[in-house]
A and B are shown apart, each in its own frame.
Chain A
């Protein structure tokens, strides 16, 4: 994932070179400088793609929606007032697009999962879950991945989004509240409910 710090166009002036650099990129992109916008896309493409991918469990859909998100963001760049950070703003576009898409796609989920990267096999948590203490010892990596994604798809869109942003992507509650345009309490309660649901679906794969 990118380590770029999100810029807040309308916020306090920042001395952070990364943030001021981003402000400069936004200004240039507003003036139809595609090279500048290209840099902005590179900063956030991984996080935006990952969010959409974990919401859809489909690589092709995630690719299309992520591209559409950045195209929409470019079109709307002139209307970006900087009330939130650019990063949060793009996230909101991605989330709205994804939720609209999922509402249309309902009941015809077709998973197209990405492969686990090489590091997965060496992740201590993964090793522990798959081979040692899991009640279903025969469960392999791909089966676990499939069941995990199936369980995710059983959640409602908002609950899946909270789990994706918090438990998968590691965003804090406050930032999720900004992205979802709700208060932190709502985020916490949705997260609690979503985890309860997930725990019920994945009981065979969680250690006793």
Chain B
């Protein structure tokens, strides 16, 4: 026999010998019983989700297989995932900060006016300091304007140069 590229007779004979590879004696006598036992135990029902994931969503398995076979790709995928999580976290925190600020501003504007005070506070006017409570955020007690927190300790002075000092 020759081993020419298109004469596969020897190869076919060799491959046919694989038919002689057989499982241990008695294996097939028990096989059907084991399948039946697994069906009876309801084991297959518990595994339904995983089986469906494996069989129907084979893309997930392919992705997993690709990642396990290529560590570099797995690392890049992990970094991408971390980046996405960080970006989402930063975005969420900035959105929630903006929300908190607008909420505090809205609360500052809609506080009930104390007795004797004007009905509505003008923008930039500090709300009463003692309005902070467990239901009002601390932010609402903060002054609305940057310079409003300077205590009113400034006194008018009359500066007149002393005669003869120059």
The interface of chain A, by Cβ under 8 A from chain B, is 34, 37-38, 41-42, 45-46, 49-50, 53-54, 59, 62-63, 66-68, 70-72, 74-75, 96-97, 100, 103-104, 106-107, 113-117, 119-120, 123, 125-126, 129, 144-145, 148-149, 163, 167-169, 195-196, 198-199, 202-203, 205-208
Q: Is the interface of B mostly helix, strand, loop or mixed?
A: helix
Which of the segments B11-19, B103-111, B138-146 contacts the partner chain? B11-19
CB distance from B59 to the nearest CB of A (A): 11
* Total interface residues in chain B, CB < 8 Å: 43
Q: Which of B14, B15, B22, B64 contacts A117 (CB 8 A)?
A: B22
| Interchain residue pairs with CB less than 8 A apart (26) | A34-B36, A34-B39, A37-B36, A37-B39, A38-B32, A38-B35, A41-B31, A41-B35, A63-B23, A66-B31, A67-B38, A71-B39, A72-B51, A75-B51, A104-B68, A114-B22, A115-B22, A119-B20, A129-B17, A145-B21, A198-B15, A199-B5, A205-B14, A207-B10, A208-B1, A208-B3
Contact A208 B35 (CB under 8 A): no
**Which residues of B are in contact with A by a Cβ distance under 8 Å?**
1-3, 5, 8, 10-24, 27-28, 31-36, 38-40, 44, 48, 51, 54-55, 58, 61-62, 64-65, 68-69
- B65 interface neighbour in A54, A104, A145, Cβ under 8 Å: A104
- Chain A residue at minimum C-beta to C-beta distance from B40: A34
Which one of A38, A123, A207 contacts B3 once the chains associate, using CB atoms below 8 Å? A207
